Amino acid sequence: MNEHQLDHAKELARGKVDEVAASLQSGDSLARPNGKKARKKITDEKILQVNNLQVSFKTYGGEVEAVRGVNFDLYKGETLAIVGESGCGKSVTSNAIMGLIPEPAGMIKNGSILFKNKELTKLSKSELRKIQGIDVSMIFQDPMTALNPTLTIGEQLTEGLRTHKKVGKQEARLKAIEMLNLVGIPNPSERLKQYPHQFSGGMRQRIVIAIALICDPELLIADEPTTALDVTIQAQILELFEEIQRKTDISIILITHDLGVVAKIADRIAVMYAGKIVEIGDKREIFYTPQHPYTQGLLNSVPRLDLMDEELQPIDGTPPDLFSPPTGCPFTARCKFAMEVCDHVYPFTSKLSDAHKVDCWLQDDRAKVLQLQK
């Protein structure tokens, strides 16, 4: 590539970055090329409330405190993204909501999960089955392991519908064809007879989404739905999520560590670290005015096309050992702004706006004075 071509590529990259920035400022994800995009509806109705959730696992080495007091709300029609490093407790939180914590090794030690004012942690397994897949549904990380290789796609699609909704075979088949059309799989009536190995990775992911949506749930939990897909298929899956949400007003919890995916479809972002939500806020607030040093570190470590000459800034160090989690801020050992108090006392939650909250001692007035003196 010669110098003229490189300059042209940089101009294109800056233009794309400006386009993403404009979309974030408007509170919407990027519009489609033709510009025709209906806004989705987010209501004030709280569909899910998670309060002081604590989940731990007993192992031969001791007890792992995987989730340590998580709090968040989810509104009808909203997409909440939970981001953070691997092992921070994102998937454990989603499994706790679904009632999939393996017992007796795992247990919900404390806290409540209210789905439409119904306490999920107190329900028996038989009562949970009446909610799982019907009102609350989940898309698992790997579509190949989520699908049964010995059953046709049609059998797997209609199984949940016939079990929960008590519909006939023909009615279930028509609903399955409708769902395959919705997720963009061509020739659905023939595809119902095929097995998972006859589909590509992107197609399998679409089928998993169709299975999750076939009973018309009100809450969808998507655990790393685009991890194993190439960028073209990722874009198609994200467009599909947006389209389904506009049509059905479904609420989505998106679990990912890909901030590009978050910028595309999330309304609010919760940043998790070492089993705690350290910052939560609107997409615009998290991307433009991150307050927690960990959130700032995550954003600084993302490659950017408009900063080709600059080196990436990784977050040095490793997360704390959750066999014996720290009493203070868990990010202290990796934080360049760490103070003595950070190591001994967990910070209070500072409310910066209606949606933006952060757990960090830097928000304390005394810390601001110290920073000015430096």
Q: Which of 308, 324, 347 is the last residue of a domain?
A: 308
The tally of domains found in the chain comes to 2
Length of the chain: 374
CA 94 to chain centre: 9
**pLDDT beyond 50 at 30:** no
Lowest-confidence segment of 31-40, 169-178, 267-276 by average pLDDT: 31-40
Report the pLDDT value the prediction gives residue 161, as an integer from 0 to 100.
87
Answer yes or no: do 18 and 129 share one domain: yes
Residue at 329 is within a domain: no
Read off the pLDDT of residues 159-214 as tens digits, 9 standing for 90 and up: 988 888 888 889 999 999 999 988 889 999 999 999 999 998 888 988 998 999 89
CA distances from 128 to 60, 107, 202, 254, 314 (A): 29, 16, 30, 21, 42
Residue at 264 is within a domain: yes
Answer yes or no: do 211 and 261 share one domain: no
Answer yes or no: do 96 and 187 share one domain: no
Listed in sequence order, the residues at least 6 apart from 33 whose beta carbon sits closer than 8 Å to its beta carbon are none
Answer yes or no: do 60 and 124 share one domain: yes
**pLDDT beyond 50 at 35:** no
Residue at 335 is within a domain: no
Read off the pLDDT of residues 318-358 as tens digits, 9 standing for 90 and up: 999 999 999 999 999 999 999 999 999 999 999 999 999 99
CA angle 259, 106, 228 (to 5 degrees): 30
Range of the domain at 187: 146-216
Answer yes or no: do 1 and 28 share one domain: yes
pLDDT interval class at 39 (50, 70, 90) = low
Residue at 348 is within a domain: no
Q: What are phi and psi of 120, to 5 degrees?
A: -75, -30
Residue 219 pairs in a beta bridge with 136, 251
Residue at 358 is within a domain: no
In the predicted model, what is the mean pLDDT of the chain?
Answer: 86
Q: Which of 261, 288, 308 is the last residue of a domain?
A: 308
Answer yes or no: do 124 and 156 share one domain: no
Residue at 84 is within a domain: yes
Answer yes or no: do 227 and 284 share one domain: yes
Answer yes or no: do 80 and 228 share one domain: yes
Answer yes or no: do 130 and 267 share one domain: yes
**pLDDT beyond 50 at 6:** no
Residue at 365 is within a domain: no
> What proportions of the chain, in percent to the nearest 5, are helix, strand and coil?
40, 20, 40
Q: Which of 308, 326, 344 is the last residue of a domain?
A: 308
Residue 39 sits in a domain whose CATH number is 3.40.50.300
Residue at 1 is within a domain: yes
pLDDT interval class at 103 (50, 70, 90) = confident
Report the pLDDT value the prediction gives residue 3, as an integer from 0 to 100.
52
Answer yes or no: do 42 and 177 share one domain: no
Top pLDDT among 135 and 29 is at 135
Answer yes or no: do 177 and 294 share one domain: no
- Axis crossing angle, helix 231-248 with helix 201-213, rounded to the nearest 10: 20
The DSSP code sequence of 160-227 is: HHHHHS---HHHHHHHHHHHHHHTT-SSHHHHTTS-GGGS-HHHHHHHHHHHHHTT--SEEEEESTTT
The whole-angstrom separation of Cα 161 and Cα 169 is 10
Report the pLDDT value the prediction gives residue 327, as an integer from 0 to 100.
93
Answer yes or no: do 224 and 123 share one domain: yes
The whole-angstrom separation of Cα 289 and Cα 283 is 10
